[in-house]
Amino acid sequence: MLWENVVLFFEIMLINIVLSGDNAVVIALASKNLPAAQRKQAIWWGAFGAIGLRVVLTVVAVYVLDIPYIQGIGSLLLLWIAIKLLVDDEGHADVKVATTLGKAVGTIILADFVMSLDNVLAIAAKAQGEIGIIILGIGLSIPIIVWGSNLVVKLLKNFPVLVFLGAGILGYTAGEMFLADTNVSNRLLGDTPHFIIPLVTTVIVIASGVIKKLITPRHS
């Protein structure tokens, strides 16, 4: 049980870090025009607010997922999130650059709320109701993202395997989440071996990323 919790903790941290690459960009952009001292304060208070908000949302999501059919629907949404993580190349030109401490903190918290709904669903699905692990995993991974925002972006760019690994975990979790909703899975799967479903969803996600790489022109 202890080993399972340790593995679950690191999976939650990896999911949160991989899915928060965009958040790291927003944090860097939102505070870049502030003086050094205020920039640190903005990052600190922004991180504090983001941690509290994300923990509350995730705990709520854990209980919402117990409602019949919600997990079945959520599994499809999580599968889409995993695929989008590998194939979406949207930029961040519309991020508002703050000129005051208060505006920077507000921008960071608001951006984290809007952009973290995918994180919330993914972590709630993976955590299996372990509220303590949720809080610990989010609490430790967000400071890594915030204070090392530039480093996180560089790591995800230089080591694409981290993104693929995180997306693969999400794909597998989507399959597990689908099976957990017996109202849906028992009706649709029939005699199909259930263990196949998480493997299929993982392959779908990874294949989407590989196809994206193959069809995207490389720039010298």
What does the pLDDT look like over 99-143, one tens digit per residue?
A: 677 877 777 777 666 666 667 777 777 776 777 877 777 777 666
Look up residue 197 and give its two tokens.
């479903």
CA distance 177 to 174: 5
pTM of the model: 0.65
- Of 89 and 118, the one with more pLDDT: 118
Place of tokens 């530039």: 150
Place of tokens 């965009």: 22
Confidence of residue 207 (pLDDT cuts 50, 70, 90): very high
User: Residue 163's closest CA among 85, 56, 73, 75?
Assistant: 85
Q: Quick one: which H or E segment has residue 182?
A: helix 182-189
Query: What are all long-range contacts of 157-161, with beta carbons under 8 Å and residues at least 24 apart?
Result: none
Range ranked top by mean pLDDT from 26-40, 57-71, 99-113, 149-163? 57-71
Look up residue 151 and give its two tokens.
């480093």
CA distance 60 to 121: 10
User: Residue 115's closest CA among 208, 39, 25?
Assistant: 25
Residue 209 · residue 162 · CB < 8 Å: no
Q: What angle do CA 143, 106, 104 make, to 5 degrees?
A: 75
Burial class (CB in 10 A: 0-12, 13-18, 19+), 125: buried
Length of the chain: 220
